Amino acid sequence: MAARLLLVAGVLLLFTGCAMMAPSPPQQQTNICEIFREQPTWYDYARDSQERWGTPIATQMAFVQRESSFRSHVRPPRKRILGFIPGRRPSSARGYAQAQDPVWGEYKADAGSTLARRTHMKHATDFIGWYNARTHRQLGISLHNPEHLYLAYHEGAGGYRRGTYRSKPQVMRAARQVSTQASRYHAQLAACEAEFRCRRFYQVWPFCRA
Protein backbone atom coordinates (compact mmCIF):
# COMPACT_ATOMS: atom_id res chain seq x y z
CA MET A 1 0.00 0.00 0.00
CA ALA A 2 2.80 2.43 0.89
CA ALA A 3 4.53 1.77 -2.43
CA ARG A 4 1.26 2.44 -4.27
CA LEU A 5 0.77 5.73 -2.43
CA LEU A 6 4.32 6.77 -3.28
CA LEU A 7 3.69 5.97 -6.95
CA VAL A 8 0.50 8.05 -7.00
CA ALA A 9 2.28 10.94 -5.28
CA GLY A 10 5.10 10.75 -7.81
CA VAL A 11 2.68 10.90 -10.72
CA LEU A 12 0.89 13.88 -9.18
CA LEU A 13 4.19 15.68 -8.65
CA LEU A 14 5.16 14.97 -12.24
CA PHE A 15 1.97 16.51 -13.61
CA THR A 16 2.21 19.44 -11.21
CA GLY A 17 5.78 20.06 -12.29
CA CYS A 18 4.80 20.00 -15.97
CA ALA A 19 2.02 22.49 -15.30
CA MET A 20 4.38 24.76 -13.39
CA MET A 21 6.89 24.66 -16.24
CA ALA A 22 4.37 26.14 -18.69
CA PRO A 23 5.01 29.89 -18.94
CA SER A 24 2.32 32.29 -17.84
CA PRO A 25 0.58 34.29 -20.59
CA PRO A 26 2.32 37.63 -21.26
CA GLN A 27 0.98 40.62 -19.38
CA GLN A 28 0.96 42.93 -22.43
CA GLN A 29 -0.39 40.90 -25.32
CA THR A 30 -0.80 43.87 -27.64
CA ASN A 31 2.95 44.57 -27.70
CA ILE A 32 5.17 41.94 -29.32
CA CYS A 33 8.32 43.54 -27.92
CA GLU A 34 7.05 43.06 -24.37
CA ILE A 35 5.91 39.52 -25.21
CA PHE A 36 9.40 38.57 -26.36
CA ARG A 37 11.01 40.35 -23.41
CA GLU A 38 8.99 38.11 -21.11
CA GLN A 39 9.63 35.01 -23.23
CA PRO A 40 12.73 35.59 -25.40
CA THR A 41 12.88 31.97 -26.56
CA TRP A 42 9.52 32.51 -28.27
CA TYR A 43 11.29 34.88 -30.64
CA ASP A 44 13.77 32.11 -31.52
CA TYR A 45 10.96 29.65 -32.19
CA ALA A 46 9.00 32.07 -34.37
CA ARG A 47 12.15 33.09 -36.24
CA ASP A 48 12.99 29.45 -36.92
CA SER A 49 9.47 28.86 -38.22
CA GLN A 50 9.67 31.94 -40.43
CA GLU A 51 12.94 30.76 -41.93
CA ARG A 52 11.59 27.26 -42.50
CA TRP A 53 8.11 28.04 -43.81
CA GLY A 54 7.90 31.74 -44.70
CA THR A 55 5.12 33.03 -42.44
CA PRO A 56 6.27 36.30 -40.80
CA ILE A 57 6.91 36.27 -37.07
CA ALA A 58 4.23 38.91 -36.50
CA THR A 59 1.58 36.81 -38.25
CA GLN A 60 2.47 33.69 -36.29
CA MET A 61 2.16 35.50 -32.99
CA ALA A 62 -1.10 37.16 -34.04
CA PHE A 63 -2.49 33.67 -34.72
CA VAL A 64 -1.39 32.44 -31.30
CA GLN A 65 -2.82 35.47 -29.55
CA ARG A 66 -6.16 34.98 -31.28
CA GLU A 67 -6.34 31.23 -30.81
CA SER A 68 -5.19 30.84 -27.22
CA SER A 69 -4.20 34.23 -25.75
CA PHE A 70 -0.80 32.57 -25.20
CA ARG A 71 -2.23 29.94 -22.84
CA SER A 72 -0.37 26.67 -23.31
CA HIS A 73 -2.99 24.15 -22.23
CA VAL A 74 -6.24 25.83 -23.21
CA ARG A 75 -9.01 23.70 -24.74
CA PRO A 76 -12.54 24.54 -25.88
CA PRO A 77 -14.96 24.54 -22.93
CA ARG A 78 -17.16 21.49 -22.52
CA LYS A 79 -20.78 21.70 -23.56
CA ARG A 80 -23.23 21.60 -20.68
CA ILE A 81 -26.03 19.05 -20.52
CA LEU A 82 -29.14 20.37 -18.77
CA GLY A 83 -27.15 23.48 -18.07
CA PHE A 84 -24.74 21.99 -15.50
CA ILE A 85 -23.55 18.47 -16.44
CA PRO A 86 -20.17 18.60 -18.24
CA GLY A 87 -20.45 17.06 -21.70
CA ARG A 88 -18.13 16.58 -24.64
CA ARG A 89 -15.84 19.30 -25.92
CA PRO A 90 -16.92 20.74 -29.29
CA SER A 91 -13.54 19.88 -30.85
CA SER A 92 -10.16 18.33 -30.14
CA ALA A 93 -8.39 21.71 -30.42
CA ARG A 94 -5.62 22.15 -27.90
CA GLY A 95 -2.62 24.30 -27.03
CA TYR A 96 -1.17 27.56 -28.26
CA ALA A 97 -2.29 27.11 -31.89
CA GLN A 98 -5.55 25.28 -31.08
CA ALA A 99 -4.61 22.54 -33.54
CA GLN A 100 -7.08 19.67 -33.75
CA ASP A 101 -6.13 16.00 -33.58
CA PRO A 102 -6.40 15.09 -37.31
CA VAL A 103 -4.36 18.00 -38.68
CA TRP A 104 -1.86 17.75 -35.82
CA GLY A 105 -1.32 14.13 -36.81
CA GLU A 106 -0.76 15.23 -40.42
CA TYR A 107 1.75 17.82 -39.27
CA LYS A 108 3.73 15.35 -37.18
CA ALA A 109 3.78 12.82 -40.01
CA ASP A 110 4.78 15.41 -42.63
CA ALA A 111 7.08 17.84 -40.90
CA GLY A 112 7.17 17.60 -37.15
CA SER A 113 8.63 15.26 -34.57
CA THR A 114 6.68 12.40 -33.07
CA LEU A 115 7.41 14.12 -29.76
CA ALA A 116 5.92 17.46 -30.87
CA ARG A 117 3.49 18.93 -28.32
CA ARG A 118 0.75 21.46 -28.91
CA THR A 119 1.51 22.92 -25.48
CA HIS A 120 5.04 23.97 -26.48
CA MET A 121 5.51 27.25 -28.35
CA LYS A 122 8.31 25.84 -30.51
CA HIS A 123 6.00 23.24 -32.00
CA ALA A 124 2.99 25.58 -32.14
CA THR A 125 4.80 28.20 -34.21
CA ASP A 126 6.27 25.53 -36.47
CA PHE A 127 2.78 24.10 -36.95
CA ILE A 128 1.36 27.50 -37.91
CA GLY A 129 4.19 27.99 -40.39
CA TRP A 130 3.67 24.53 -41.86
CA TYR A 131 -0.10 25.00 -42.13
CA ASN A 132 0.20 28.39 -43.82
CA ALA A 133 2.79 27.08 -46.26
CA ARG A 134 0.33 24.33 -47.19
CA THR A 135 -2.44 26.91 -47.54
CA HIS A 136 -0.21 28.92 -49.86
CA ARG A 137 0.44 25.86 -52.04
CA GLN A 138 -3.18 24.73 -52.11
CA LEU A 139 -5.01 28.05 -52.37
CA GLY A 140 -2.42 30.55 -53.55
CA ILE A 141 -2.96 32.85 -50.55
CA SER A 142 0.06 35.06 -49.94
CA LEU A 143 2.01 34.42 -46.75
CA HIS A 144 1.76 38.19 -46.22
CA ASN A 145 -2.06 38.15 -46.17
CA PRO A 146 -2.86 37.28 -42.54
CA GLU A 147 -6.60 37.88 -42.90
CA HIS A 148 -7.13 35.22 -45.55
CA LEU A 149 -4.50 32.90 -44.07
CA TYR A 150 -6.55 32.93 -40.89
CA LEU A 151 -9.80 32.29 -42.75
CA ALA A 152 -8.22 29.22 -44.33
CA TYR A 153 -6.72 28.21 -40.98
CA HIS A 154 -10.14 28.32 -39.37
CA GLU A 155 -12.23 26.83 -42.18
CA GLY A 156 -9.71 24.49 -43.81
CA ALA A 157 -8.78 24.52 -47.49
CA GLY A 158 -12.09 22.98 -48.59
CA GLY A 159 -14.17 25.36 -46.51
CA TYR A 160 -12.20 28.33 -47.77
CA ARG A 161 -12.75 27.28 -51.40
CA ARG A 162 -16.48 26.98 -50.75
CA GLY A 163 -16.52 30.34 -48.99
CA THR A 164 -18.05 28.95 -45.80
CA TYR A 165 -16.61 31.88 -43.84
CA ARG A 166 -18.90 34.30 -45.68
CA SER A 167 -21.85 33.08 -43.63
CA LYS A 168 -19.87 33.34 -40.38
CA PRO A 169 -19.54 37.00 -39.38
CA GLN A 170 -17.68 36.08 -36.19
CA VAL A 171 -15.00 34.26 -38.18
CA MET A 172 -14.66 37.15 -40.63
CA ARG A 173 -14.38 39.60 -37.74
CA ALA A 174 -11.73 37.42 -36.08
CA ALA A 175 -9.74 37.31 -39.33
CA ARG A 176 -9.76 41.11 -39.57
CA GLN A 177 -8.62 41.33 -35.96
CA VAL A 178 -5.77 38.92 -36.68
CA SER A 179 -4.73 41.07 -39.64
CA THR A 180 -4.79 44.22 -37.51
CA GLN A 181 -2.81 42.54 -34.75
CA ALA A 182 -0.25 41.20 -37.22
CA SER A 183 0.25 44.69 -38.67
CA ARG A 184 0.69 46.12 -35.18
CA TYR A 185 3.14 43.41 -34.19
CA HIS A 186 5.11 43.90 -37.43
CA ALA A 187 5.57 47.63 -36.78
CA GLN A 188 6.53 47.03 -33.15
CA LEU A 189 9.00 44.27 -34.00
CA ALA A 190 10.80 46.50 -36.48
CA ALA A 191 11.76 48.75 -33.57
CA CYS A 192 12.96 46.06 -31.14
CA GLU A 193 13.98 42.94 -33.05
CA ALA A 194 17.71 43.67 -32.82
CA GLU A 195 17.71 43.05 -29.06
CA PHE A 196 16.41 39.51 -29.56
CA ARG A 197 18.77 38.61 -32.39
CA CYS A 198 21.96 39.27 -30.43
CA ARG A 199 20.99 38.74 -26.80
CA ARG A 200 23.21 35.75 -25.93
CA PHE A 201 26.86 36.08 -24.93
CA TYR A 202 28.04 34.10 -27.96
CA GLN A 203 25.93 36.10 -30.45
CA VAL A 204 28.26 38.92 -31.38
CA TRP A 205 27.42 41.30 -34.21
CA PRO A 206 27.90 40.83 -37.17
CA PHE A 207 27.95 37.07 -36.60
CA CYS A 208 24.56 36.79 -34.91
CA ARG A 209 21.37 36.23 -36.88
CA ALA A 210 20.87 38.89 -39.51
56 located within any domain? yes
pLDDT in tens, 105-131: 999 999 868 889 999 999 999 999 999
Q: Please give the tally of structural domains in the chain.
A: 1
202 located within any domain? no
137 located within any domain? yes
Residue 140 belongs to domain with CATH number: 1.10.530.10
**At residue 120, what are phi and psi to the nearest 5 degrees?**
-115, 130
105 located within any domain? yes
Distances (CA, A) of 83 to 32, 86, 136: 39, 9, 42
Average model confidence (pLDDT) for the chain? 85
**Domain ranges, residue 123:** 25-197
129 located within any domain? yes
What pLDDT was estimated at residue 165? 98
13 located within any domain? no
What pLDDT was estimated at residue 198? 74
57 located within any domain? yes
100 located within any domain? yes
